[in-house]
Amino acid sequence: MWQARHVADLLKTVDSKFEVDLKIIKTQGDKILDVPLAHIGGKGLFTKEIEDALLDGSVDLAVHSMKDVPTEIPQGLSIAGILKREDPRDVFISRDTRRIIELKPGEKIGTSSLRRRAFLMSCFSGLEVVSIRGNVDTRIRKIETDNLAGALLAAAGIIRMGFTDRIREFLSIEDMIPAIGQGAIGIETRIADDRVREIVSELNDGETRKCVEIERCFLKRMGGGCQVPMAAYCEPLDDGVRLTAAVTHPDGTPIFRETYTGPGDDSLIGAVVADRLIQMGADAVLRAVLSDDWRPCAVDGVL
């Protein structure tokens, strides 16, 4: 809702005469809160119902967290704009004043993300990871109600909701590579709706879009889903980009990492880095978790 209101306000900066109505659509991911996302299966847990409304014409545009948008977008729709990215890192919200490294073996940390769980187990073994679902303030409350030492959440959501003072530490990109698209808000429209697409294009941040496209190309090559912990973060440099990516087993080991630094004009950089990880042995993890028949996916457009 914060993101939708934010986009509505930005649209009014394009033309103050715009009237924007918000339509609340609950998705499957919003409704199922007692099961970890990785166990629900399927794609589009936070987008399908909204995309159906776009396709039937009952809404004119949809606002998504880009990390929730599958690489396969329904025919007739596309991401017309991506806003400037908020801080992409993960943060630790502590019950007291301790950082993660100061916690004792056996203490509990809450997260709704299989990726965060796997990277946490890889970097800070000995801690118990507990699944927590719900919106930002609900998950923060569960630190107290569920007797947790703290919780891992996306910095973007914490900052947007005004809870920055609760952050105990920002986790480094090296230790906790962000989810694909984390911190970026995407605006989806009908391809044939030229007027809406033209308006939304005024809000597009070219640098963020380029980096998110590269990350999503990596995800698509890997046949991305929520059952295998994988991560990719592309950051702009003065003379190109740096893409940091990883695939790990849900238990946190083995983990395969790779970094690309160089020109960033082609989103296929994401596929190149995915292939490097596959050559390192990441394919064994994907086959073990998904299926013996797993194969890399062909890549073309991802937005």
Active site residues: 68
- Please report, for residues 4, 82, 217, 228, the alpha-carbon distance to residue 202 in angstroms, rounded to integers and kept in the order given: 16, 10, 24, 36
Neighbour-count burial for 236-247, b at 16+ CB within 10 Å, e otherwise = eeeeebbbbbbb
Helix (H) or strand (E) holding 190: strand 185-190
Alpha-carbon distance of 133 to 98, in angstroms, equals 23
Give CA angle at 85 (202, 191), nearest 5°.
45
Question: Residues 88, 94, 100, CA angle at the centre, nearest 5°?
Answer: 75
Print the SS3 string covering 128-165.
Answer: EEEECCCCHHHHHHHHHHCCCCEEEEEHHHHHHCCCHH
Q: Are strands 240-248 and 108-111 parallel, antiparallel or unpaired?
A: unpaired
Q: How far is residue 125 from each of residues 106, 108, 118, 171, 240, measured CA to CA in Å?
A: 9, 12, 10, 16, 35
Q: Which residue is it, tokens 């009952």?
A: 58
Q: Are strands 62-65 and 185-190 parallel, antiparallel or unpaired?
A: antiparallel
240 forms beta bridges with 237
Task: Give Cα separations from 264 to 89, 187, 261 (angstroms).
Answer: 21, 23, 9
Integer angstrom CA distances of residue 27 from 81, 174, 227, 255: 22, 33, 19, 32
* The two three-digit tokens of residue 114, written as one number: 């299989």
